[in-house]
């Protein structure tokens, strides 16, 4: 470990994050090149990695070869996509043919796949530069890894997409891949001051990604801007589609103009009781600012339909655990039988508590989830989306846990898209605001997110 990170006095208006889409013009006119851009990223990684520990594996030679190929395409005015030449981080539960995929598990130590995951295949075919594999919690559900928060080395970066969020939030790379079964894209993005986008469930192909829960697992993107989140997700959807039967995320290659949301529903959920005064004040101030821009904010006191959704979301964390931990029986029960000694105590204890979830308990949870999803759909005719905090506060101290998931869990359960926006700070640390949308309305959500970010940050 190097020296611990200093208190950087995080300022949303002065983030170290990179915005790849803003560099494309310089690539095309010769003012910059993907190879030079990559070298700057590698220099930042070399400087910060001893403190942050975001990476499990890097291969600069592979990255440089990809950046050189992208440089030649830009010289000819023939880039493959809007992420051609973009340095990317890949969460280490996602298979790569040329780098190990170890999932922070002793079971998979040194394991090398013979294929790229569908999403990695799409990134490479789009010209993206895969820099390396980033730290995940054990199988994205167990013990935490060594990654620290880029703004305070004594705090968690969140999980399970810990390394991707920390690498993006610190400016090591402009974008990367994460996955979410509960809150594992948007929460670490929020803690690390990055943008995190979880599209509609199954709208990005999950092939080659280690499973936990088929009905909740989702591939997402973390980046330094809404645009780069979208461009990365779009290329995956365009080239490899969604996870069947979903045909793939719906929307154009670019987001074009920001779109002002006219009506947002403010949700409290179980998480609000855990929010401390400074975080409440920061969020309430943001809502007042949006209202000052003629965005209507409604909540449970303004309609029985919203109040009913809040009621249905009570206890949603336990509900979600019942579903996901019943669905993870394969392959986790097999790991438990064959490789129990290689599982962390944290994961073994969790499995032993949940191995006896019954079919009836699972069926009841799925039935309640169906009611939640129906209620969300019913609200879609009168609102552009929902708004809440991404987490109950800034990243907590300690690296043993990855933080509270109360605010993220609902929009994984509903299968609808969500975006975490790094708009606020508390105690000199990033604080995310979560914007949530409706099924397959990802483009509208992303354009609303662009408008809110531009309005708040200027």
Q: How far apart are CA 11 and CA 252, in angstroms?
A: 32
Sign of CA dihedral 243, 244, 247, 250: negative
Residue in the block written with tokens 């054990």: 138
For residue 419, give the 3-state DSSP assignment: strand
Query: Can 6 be counted among the known catalytic residues?
Result: no
Question: In this structure, are residues 175 and 86 in contact, taking their beta carbons and an 8 Å threshold?
Answer: yes
Angle, helices 359-378 vs 316-327, to 10°: value is 130
Helices (H), ranges, 355-441: 359-378, 409-413
Helices (H), ranges, 205-328: 226-240, 277-292, 304-312, 316-327
Angle, helices 442-457 vs 226-240, to 10°: value is 160
User: CB 282: neighbour CB atoms within 10 A?
Assistant: 19
User: CB 383: neighbour CB atoms within 10 A?
Assistant: 20
Query: Can 91 be counted among the known catalytic residues?
Result: yes
For residue 443, give the 3-state DSSP assignment: helix
Q: Which helix (H) or strand (E) holds 122?
A: helix 118-125
Nearest to 136 by CA among 435, 355, 348, 347: 347
Q: How far apart are CA 81 and CA 74, in angstroms?
A: 11
Q: How far apart are CA 71 and CA 237, in angstroms?
A: 24
Nearest to 10 by CA among 171, 164, 146: 171
Cα–Cα separations (whole angstroms), residue 161 to 12, 181, 277, 307: 21, 11, 28, 32
Catalytic choice (160, 167, 225, 406): 160
Residues in the chain: 458
Query: Can 15 be counted among the known catalytic residues?
Result: no
Sign of CA dihedral 399, 430, 229, 225: negative
Give the HSE-up count for residue 254: Cα atoms under 13 Å, Cβ half-sphere. Answer: 7
Q: How far apart are CA 446 and CA 429, in angstroms?
A: 24
Catalytic choice (184, 203, 320, 425): 184
Catalytic choice (15, 91, 170, 406): 91
Collect all residues with Cβ–Cβ distance below 8 Å to 375 and sequence separation of at least 6. Answer: 305, 308, 309, 312
| Structure token digits, residue 150 | 């880029």
Q: Catalytic positions, please?
A: 91, 160, 184
């Amino acid at each position: 470990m190097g020296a611990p990170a200093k208190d950087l006095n995080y300022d949303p208006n002065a983030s170290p994050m990179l915005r790849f889409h803003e560099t494309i013009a310089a690539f095309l006119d010769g003012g910059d090149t993907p190879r030079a851009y990559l070298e700057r990223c590698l220099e930042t990684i070399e400087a910060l990695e001893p403190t942050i520990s975001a990476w499990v594996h890097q291969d600069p030679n592979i990255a440089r070869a990809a950046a050189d190929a992208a440089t030649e395409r830009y010289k000819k005015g023939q880039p493959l996509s809007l992420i051609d030449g973009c340095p990317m981080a890949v969460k280490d539960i996602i298979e790569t043919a040329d780098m190990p995929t170890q999932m922070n598990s002793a079971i998979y130590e040194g394991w090398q796949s013979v294929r790229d995951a569908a999403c990695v295949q799409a990134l490479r075919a789009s010209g993206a530069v895969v820099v390396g594999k980033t730290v995940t919690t054990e199988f994205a559900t167990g013990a935490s890894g060594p990654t620290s928060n880029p703004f305070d080395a004594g705090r968690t970066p969140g999980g399970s997409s810990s390394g991707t969020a920390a690498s993006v939030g610190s400016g090591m790379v402009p974008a990367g891949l994460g996955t979410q079964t509960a809150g594992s894209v948007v929460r670490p993005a929020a803690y690390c001051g990055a943008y995190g986008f979880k599209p509609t469930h199954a709208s990005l192909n999950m092939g080659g990604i280690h499973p936990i829960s088929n009905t909740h697992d989702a591939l997402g993107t973390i980046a330094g801007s809404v645009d780069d989140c979208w461009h990365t997700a779009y290329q995956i959807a365009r080239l490899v589609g969604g996870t069947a039967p979903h045909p793939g995320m719906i929307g154009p290659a670019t987001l074009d103009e920001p779109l002002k949301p006219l009506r947002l529903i403010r949700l409290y959920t179980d998480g609000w009781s855990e929010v401390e005064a400074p975080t409440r004040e920061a969020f309430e101030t943001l809502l007042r600012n949006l209202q000052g821009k003629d965005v209507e904010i409604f909540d449970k006191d303004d309609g029985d339909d919203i109040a009913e959704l809040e009621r249905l979301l009570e206890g949603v964390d336990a509900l979600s655990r019942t579903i996901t931990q019943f669905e993870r029986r394969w392959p986790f029960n097999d790991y438990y039988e064959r490789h129990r000694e290689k599982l962390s105590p944290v994961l073994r204890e969790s499995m032993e508590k949940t191995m006896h979830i019954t079919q009836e308990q699972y069926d009841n949870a799925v039935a309640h989830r169906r009611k939640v999803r129906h209620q969300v759909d019913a609200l879609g005719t009168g609102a552009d989306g929902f708004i809440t905090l991404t987490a109950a506060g800034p990243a907590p101290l300690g690296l043993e846990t990855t933080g509270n998931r109360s605010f993220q869990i609902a929009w994984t359960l509903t299968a609808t898209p969500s975006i975490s926006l790094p708009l606020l700070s508390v105690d000199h640390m990033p604080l995310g605001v979560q914007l949530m949308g409706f099924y397959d309305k990802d483009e509208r959500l992303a354009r609303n997110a662009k408008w809110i970010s531009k309005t708040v940050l200027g």
